[in-house]
């Protein structure tokens, strides 16, 4: 039981037909819900922290909460920086004790992305920390509709090989059809399995990462809206399609939005049904349980990682 890097987890996942779940954390209840799920499912686990989460919860608190989760459950946990946007935040997280960082240079040119990523790899590897980087751009809803237009931003396989060789990264986030958030791409959900196969054949030893892997099922959104929410969510890639990606080369799958929806639905429900109540524990306890159920559901039905610890 320790804070570990993802090296061993990914080595196992690479040889098998499952992916490790990387869940975003912002506070104690979210952390507890996720680790309880991993404990019950006996599953490998990555907890990831965005710059926004780090600012909200404050670095020292998040670190101590994750340490407490390890002590409480006996799990090995990877603590990962999600979407680090520059060298400074990656360095801070390495110095704070994170075991994995993502440098997201996907908005830069190929050469700029390589230069930035190399700088992070050098520092992180000197400190025993692993690095994820991203090549290709995930579509946003505003980027609009057509699959052909969308695929122009997908990861190029030859660039991926060159990128991995020149940067020395430990894992690579690729763009093959998913997008972030609750307002997913309109139009037919689509994952480019052919492209995934080409990339994983060219990079057989590089764990591949899928961001934007919340499905935002209409029933998840409806549950929030039933109790006064007004979330115009648009469904993402269906869970069975993500499961197939986990079976064919994807080693890490990032999920945040579906946990937010699950948690918010419970808070809304409790407060609407109990308008005279004002004890935060009363609405945060069912919210924590909703996180746990959602994570167990993802582990079983999307990640296929139950029992793979
Ligand atoms: O992909 C980003 C994650 O969902 C984190 O979102 O920056 O709002 O914490 P955040
Ligand atoms: P979702 O917004 O689809 O949950 O994606 C989360 C993510 O990719 C975090 O890096
Ligand atoms: Zn992401």
Give pLDDT tens digits for 263-307: 999 999 999 999 999 999 999 999 999 999 999 999 999 999 999
Residue 132 CB–ligand 2 contact under 6 Å: no
At residue 209, does pLDDT exceed 90? yes
- Ligand 2 mutation target, pool 51, 177, 214, 302, most atoms within 8 A of CB: 214
Tens-digit pLDDT profile for residues 217-249 = 899 899 999 999 999 888 889 999 999 999 988
Report how far residue 291's alpha carbon sits from residue 259's, in angstroms, rounded to the nearest whole number. Answer: 6
Residue 255 CA, closest ligand 2 atom number: 4
Chain centroid to Cα 178, Å, comes to: 12
CA dihedral 11, 15, 17, 20 (to 10 degrees): 0
Tens-digit pLDDT profile for residues 141-160 = 555 445 566 777 999 999 99
Residue 181 CA, closest ligand 1 atom number: 4
At residue 71, does pLDDT exceed 70? yes
Which pLDDT does position 148 carry in this prediction? 60
Can you give the pTM of this predicted structure? 0.97
Residue 180 CA, closest ligand 1 atom number: 1
- Please, which pLDDT band fits residue 92 given cuts at 50, 70 and 90? very high
CB atoms within 5 A of ion ligand 3 belong to: 211, 254
At residue 203, does pLDDT exceed 50? yes
At residue 184, does pLDDT exceed 90? no
Ligand 3 midpoint to CA 180 (Å)? 6
- Ligand 2 mutation target, pool 21, 254, 259, 260, most atoms within 8 A of CB: 254
Round the average pLDDT of the chain to a whole number and report it: 94
Ligand 2 midpoint to CA 132 (Å)? 15
Which pLDDT does position 233 carry in this prediction? 81
Which pLDDT does position 114 carry in this prediction? 98
Dihedrals phi, psi of 20, to nearest 5 degrees: -85, 135
Do 177 and 212 contact (CB within 8 A), yes or no?
Answer: no
Which pLDDT does position 154 carry in this prediction? 95
Report how far residue 10's alpha carbon sits from residue 206's, in angstroms, rounded to the nearest whole number. Answer: 9
Which pLDDT does position 145 carry in this prediction? 47
Catalytic residue among 17, 36, 72, 82: 82
Residue 24 CB–ligand 2 contact under 6 Å: yes
Q: Which helix (H) or strand (E) holds 208?
A: strand 208-210
Q: Annotated catalytic, 279?
A: no
212-217 mean pLDDT: 94
Chain centroid to Cα 127, Å, comes to: 23
Residue 258 CA, closest ligand 2 atom number: 4
Ligand nearest to the CA of 52: 1
């Amino acid at each position: 039981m320790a804070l570990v890097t993802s090296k061993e987890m990914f080595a196992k996942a690479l040889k098998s037909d499952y992916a490790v779940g990387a869940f975003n954390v912002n506070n104690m209840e979210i952390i507890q819900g996720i680790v309880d799920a991993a404990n019950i499912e006996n599953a490998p686990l990555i907890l990831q922290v965005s710059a926004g989460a780090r600012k909200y919860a404050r670095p020292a608190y998040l670190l101590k909460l994750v340490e407490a989760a390890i002590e409480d459950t006996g799990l090995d946990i990877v603590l990962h920086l999600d979407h680090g946007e520059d060298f400074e935040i990656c360095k801070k997280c390495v110095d704070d004790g994170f075991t994995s960082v993502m440098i997201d240079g996907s908005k830069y040119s190929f050469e700029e992305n390589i230069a930035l990523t190399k700088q992070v790899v050098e520092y992180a590897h000197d400190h025993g920390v692993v690095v994820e980087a991203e090549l290709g751009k995930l579509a946003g809803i505003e980027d609009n509709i057509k699959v052909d237009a969308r695929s122009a931003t997908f990861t190029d396989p030859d660039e991926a090989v060159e990128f991995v060789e020149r940067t020395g990264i430990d894992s690579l986030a690729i763009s093959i059809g998913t997008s972030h958030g609750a307002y997913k791409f309109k139009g037919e959900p689509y994952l480019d399995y052919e492209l995934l196969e080409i990339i994983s054949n060219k990079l057989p030893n590089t764990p591949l990462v899928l961001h934007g892997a919340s499905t935002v099922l209409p029933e998840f959104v409806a549950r929030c809206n039933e109790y006064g929410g007004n979330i115009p969510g648009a469904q993402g890639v269906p869970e069975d399609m993500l499961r197939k990606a986990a079976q064919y080369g994807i080693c890490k799958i990032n999920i945040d939005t579906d946990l937010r929806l699950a948690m918010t639905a419970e808070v809304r429900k409790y407060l609407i049904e109990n308008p005279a109540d004002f004890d935060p524990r009363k609405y945060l306890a069912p919210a924590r349980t909703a996180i746990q159920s959602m994570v167990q559901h993802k582990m079983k039905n999307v990640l296929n990682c139950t029992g793979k610890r």
